[in-house]
Amino acid sequence: ANARPMGWHDAVAAKSAEMGKTSAAFRAGARRKAVATCLCLIVAGAVGYSVGWAWAAIPGALAAWSALQTMSATLIASRLEARERQS
């Protein structure tokens, strides 16, 4: 009834569960990446203000990448939580 194709996050969650990883580990990783995102944004602002906004693109890009990793880890954690509730 609820047949939807398995997405990348679903596949990673399934593989992580097989390896014994928990949703708590992914939540902790998401928190670390969120802190890294904030720090990169602060650095980007400082660099942009002091040196020039073109140079702020480097820490800004790192912030964007870190934000994507945060979202991904959060999605995987939610998939793992659903699996943990079913077990």
pLDDT, residue 2, reads 55
Distance CA 11, CA 70 (A): 17
Q: What is the CA radius of gyration of the chain?
A: 17
Distance CA 33, CA 76 (A): 14
Entry pTM: 0.85
pLDDT, residue 1, reads 47
Q: What is the pLDDT along the chain (87 residues), one digit of tens a residue?
A: 455 667 999 999 999 999 999 999 999 999 999 999 999 999 999 999 999 999 999 999 999 999 999 999 999 999 999 999 997
